[in-house]
Chain A
Amino acid sequence: MSKKLLSGPYIVWMIGFIIIPLVLIAVYGLTDKNGAVTLANVLAISTPEHSKALWLSLKLSFVSTVICLLLAYPLAMILRKRNIGKGSFVVFIFILPMWMNFLLRTLAWQSLLEKNGVINGILTFLHLPTQPLINTSGAIVLGMVYNFLPFMVLPIYNVLCKIDDSIINAAQDLGANFWQTLLLVWIPLSVPGIISGITMVFVPALTTFVISNLLGGSKILLIGNVIEQEFTKGSNWHLGSGLSLVLMVFILFSMALIAKYDKNGEGSAF
């Protein structure tokens, strides 16, 4: 019985710093400056300026997620194949950049892509015309893929490692070639990892304001930038909270996906 008392501090903490803060967002989002209940802050998403930002966020994060998945799945398969019985050094090399400070990683791409940056420097050196690289949607997608790729690789790799070799052997034994084995065995069995990876890339990509700020310039606004500005510059916390509530719909949707496809937490990255 006394064991349950151990959860006391955590329960207090949870209520104070997880539940109440979320309730506050809802309170702010659903009221106006005078405290009257209103849906205006939430519906503000339909204004051209906001819906454009949300639509662009959805588009760029979707593209980034797809690219991450296409890059990560073969990588995870090769890593699984190479790593058996050899310690985790190969895998370690691939997740090491993940532990590098997020801002520094983005800073690195900024230095590479800038008008006077490294890539254009190389182009000039080769007497080629310089390219507008920074402040484009492409630069933002690149930043997203670079920053979040490890979050896709890890859960997929973890799930693939749990698949017993004999199941793969059995599929081959029954006549399946590489593509048939991939489609009928590998992919269905790695769904928990794929779903977990997708949400771990999609949610931060959808809500980022740092990557768009550093690589997209001031002209490209994502929904994250809009919300951030409401809190730091515009100071309309009610509007910011209302837009956050809209964002949370997408987050809840991905939580539901995880709950459905990764019941046992097999696809967790850590």
Chain B
Amino acid sequence: MKTLKERIQYIGENFYLVLILIFLYAPIATLMVLSFNGSRSRNQWGGFSLQWYAEMFESSAITAALQNTLVIALASALIATIIGTAASIAINSMRQLPKTIMMGITNIPMLNADIVTGISLMLAFIAFGISLGFKTILIAHITFNIPYVILSVMPKLKQTNQSAYEAAMDLGATPVYAFYKVVLPDIMPGVLSGFLLAFTMSLDDFIITHFTKGAGINTLSTLIYSEVRRGIKPSMYALSTIIFLVVLTLLIITNFAPNRKKEEH
């Protein structure tokens, strides 16, 4: 039994959801359609074609950028996860004041504007005498990734049962053994989601990479930026389509596979 008012409200809500969805997806859908357009023009349909995909895979600039992007994302996420998880455990056992200071500094790269973070890192690399290139991109990405790891791991650490760790030691485990057997499995979901978050943040970053990359090296983001400023190449549309589909698949796997497992238990 629903009143007329409730029904109207329900329809209104659906209408709103659909409008927002159109706003969010129309541009992406446009890119996808254009990636199959035989014509270079954006307002004329030149028939279905895969030529931009072929062009994309033949371009050494794109494949090199893709490789850089993936290597940097993977490496920076991995290193950030290790440093960040260790730091979280330490911070969690600190007293109030040092804890507040540590968390305050951790928040800086997250809340600060990317342009400021990028510039400041660039100035630092030059001051330290590190020449800009692959290395500096990696360091910069690790820097802005660590906070995401800490923010994912800390809540899990707060939830872990301190007495389980103590009980393990009471039963004769060394602190290291107790950590691997008791604490780590507990915080593993946080560590994993921290890693994934770091990985995607690194994939998506443009601004900080822009300032720290130096000449002669590109990630996908910086490549797209320079290409777009020179005038749009339809191979960028093909690239967008592929990236979107890959991201979609990855997110569906990570979001819904673990849930299903949980439900089974």
Does B bind A? yes
Interface residues of A (CB under 8 A from B): 2-7, 9-11, 13-14, 16-22, 24-25, 28, 71, 74-75, 78, 81-82, 87-89, 92-94, 96-97, 99-105, 107-112, 114, 116-118, 120-122, 124, 146, 149, 199, 203-204, 206-210, 213-214, 224, 227-228, 231, 237, 240-241, 244, 247-248, 251, 254-255, 258, 268, 270
* A100-B243 contact given A74-B16, A92-B255, CB 8 Å threshold: yes
Q: Which of B20, B221, B232 interacts with A111 by CB under 8 Å?
A: B232
Task: Tell me the complex Cα distance, A104–B235, Å.
Answer: 12
> Do A241 and B119 touch (CB < 8 A)?
yes
* A21-B123 contact given A100-B247, A224-B115, CB 8 Å threshold: yes
Chain A CB within 8 A of B91 CB: yes
**Contact partners of B114 in chain A: CB under 8 A:** 204, 207
> Do B42 and A116 touch (CB < 8 A)?
yes
Q: Which of A101, A206, A210 interacts with B220 by CB under 8 Å?
A: A101
What is the minimal beta-carbon distance from A58 to any residue of chain B, in angstroms?
14
> Do A270 and B86 touch (CB < 8 A)?
no
Task: Tell me the complex Cα distance, A82–B143, Å.
Answer: 38
Chain A CB within 8 A of B76 CB: no
Chain A CB within 8 A of B52 CB: no
Closest to A75 in B: B20
Chain A CB within 8 A of B169 CB: no
- A-B pairs under 8 A by CB, number: 223
Q: Which of B89, B200, B225, B237 interacts with A103 by CB under 8 Å?
A: B225
**Contact partners of B244 in chain A: CB under 8 A:** 100, 104
Main SS at interface, chain B = helix
Q: Which of A19, A20, A78, A120 interacts with B43 by CB under 8 Å?
A: A120
> Do A9 and B30 touch (CB < 8 A)?
no
> Do A10 and B84 touch (CB < 8 A)?
yes
Residues in B217-265 with C-beta less than 8 Å from chain A: 220-221, 224-225, 228-229, 232, 236-237, 239-240, 243-244, 247-248, 251, 255-256, 259
**Contact partners of A4 in chain B: CB under 8 A:** 90, 93-94
Chain A CB within 8 A of B207 CB: yes
**Contact partners of A28 in chain B: CB under 8 A:** 123
Closest to A196 in B: B111
What is the minimal beta-carbon distance from A25 to any residue of chain B, in angstroms?
5
Closest to B260 in A: A87
> Do A13 and B143 touch (CB < 8 A)?
yes
Closest to B193 in A: A270
> Do B240 and A247 touch (CB < 8 A)?
no
What is the minimal beta-carbon distance from B226 to any residue of chain A, in angstroms?
10
> Do A114 and B119 touch (CB < 8 A)?
no
What 0/1 readout, one digit per residue, does chain B (98-136) give for beta carbons within 8 Å of chain A?
000010011111011111110111111001100000000
> Do A20 and B224 touch (CB < 8 A)?
no
Task: Tell me the complex Cα distance, A146–B148, Å.
Answer: 23
**Contact partners of B232 in chain A: CB under 8 A:** 107, 110-111
Given contacts A25-B123, A102-B204, A121-B42, 4 further A-B contacts (CB under 8 A): A16-B124, A111-B42, A118-B30, A118-B42
What is the minimal beta-carbon distance from A255 to any residue of chain B, in angstroms?
5
Most buried by A among B24, B206, B221: B24
Chain A CB within 8 A of B50 CB: no
**Contact partners of B123 in chain A: CB under 8 A:** 21, 24-25, 28, 237, 241
What is the minimal beta-carbon distance from A262 to any residue of chain B, in angstroms?
11
**Contact partners of B248 in chain A: CB under 8 A:** 96
**Contact partners of A110 in chain B: CB under 8 A:** 228, 232
**Contact partners of B89 in chain A: CB under 8 A:** 3, 6
Task: Tell me the complex Cα distance, A146–B114, Å.
Answer: 18
